[in-house]
Structure 1
Amino acid sequence: MGLVYSTEKGRLCPDCGEAVCVCKNNPVRPLGDGVVRVGRETKGRKGAGVTTISGLPLDDTALAGVCTQLKKRCGTGGTVKDGIIEIQGDHRDRIVAELTTQGYRVKRVGG
């Protein structure tokens, strides 16, 4: 077992040994309240809207799988950024229905 704490740097990452993790093998995502939120955003996209899905309690690999499934269901493109799935276009109703059938508690947010 390696160095865990240093008086000079504080708590260290167990994988890379740095105070600020550079290996990013252990992304720390805050635990949510158990509700998946589905909304729509246009900010910073020159008016083009995307449907955002946040609050899914999954790791990055599982989020990518859910994103692929939702993209196929909606017939459009999308991506995962910082733990938030973005699907191109306004598909809130379809995504809420799909995630509800998968057993998640889903809430529509925004207008």
Structure 2
Amino acid sequence: MTDSVKPIAPITLPNVQHPEQEEEWLRKSLHTWLDEEFLPETVNGKIAQRAAKIFVRQRMEGENDLGSLVIAIIAEMRAFDFSRSFYSEFAVANAVSDLILDSLGIDRCCGG
């Protein structure tokens, strides 16, 4: 690794204080994002609900590393039937990451 290339520092979230509120915020935010990114679809609500539950359950189990949370969403959403959706588990996990980074005021462009 050269001196000019530095790894991206992990993003550690604060411990969860209000899991129900965090889950509801993420569910609503992700559902809105899914509906606005392409077309509003009935399945978007189910996708958002499942992803938010995975995220908060992982947080309640003590996982606060955003990268690990994204991987957990990808792994667990593989069992979800995306056949009626424009999305995949990867798009959903990336959207969750973007929403969390935005909520924390972290620039998600260019590793900033």
Short-chain TM bin: 0.3 to 0.5
Q: Give the strand-richer structure, 1 or 2.
A: 1
The structure with more radius of gyration: 1
Higher RCO, Cα 8 Å, sep 6+: 2
- Structure 2 length-normalised TM: 0.37
- Please identify which structure carries the higher helix content: 2
**TM-score, normalization by structure 1:** 0.37
